[in-house]
Structure 1
Amino acid sequence: MREGSWRSRILLERESTTTWENIASARALVGDLDAISICSNGLHAEKARMYLRRQDPDLGTRLVLADDYRFLEMTLLKPVFAVVGSIKMRQLRRTDTQG
């Protein structure tokens, strides 16, 4: 995030070791907010948004998109991350429809 590009509070949760745990812990931090933005790389942010919707559908309705795309960031690795991330997201969505 560029310095000065955000005009609100930024809350960090530092105890979790997985995205699922991070979302579970962060729910207490963001429960009273009208809008929630998850900032990360594109696929990871989408996974975190899916987890929030699963764990707390009410909070999921308060999600607003962050600017996940950053030009030239990890340029050579993005194709690999895109393939792996797409496979993982497909598995998560399949789990949503099955249970």
Structure 2
Amino acid sequence: MEDVAPDDPVGDAPVEWEREAVARGMVVYKNEFAMVAIGRHETSSGPRLQIVDLASGAEVYLDPIELEGLTRLRHQAFAPLLDPSDVVVEGEPDPDQV
């Protein structure tokens, strides 16, 4: 984990959320760009995969049909979701096709 200044309340939030997620039996995945917790959430209509962004606290619950749909996507389909500028950089046009 990265060092966070003690007087930085926003910086401490992901660390606390990570501890809480682990205490609730969730699995935490993280790298230098993101930190998410994954867990199973039971509902009256069946189980859901719970994904929590530990930096912002945003969460989503995906049912089995939504998860199946994710398996059909190519990695390129995720590019608009991952671009922090909200503008996906497109490649240069092929000079032979201009």
Shorter chain as denominator, the TM-score bin is under 0.3
Which fold has the larger relative contact order, with Cα–Cα distance below 8 Å and residues 6 or more apart in sequence? 1
TM-score by length of 2: 0.24
Higher share of residues assigned helix: 1
Structure whose CA Rg is larger: 2
Structure with bigger strand share is 2
Return the TM-score normalized by structure 1.
Answer: 0.24
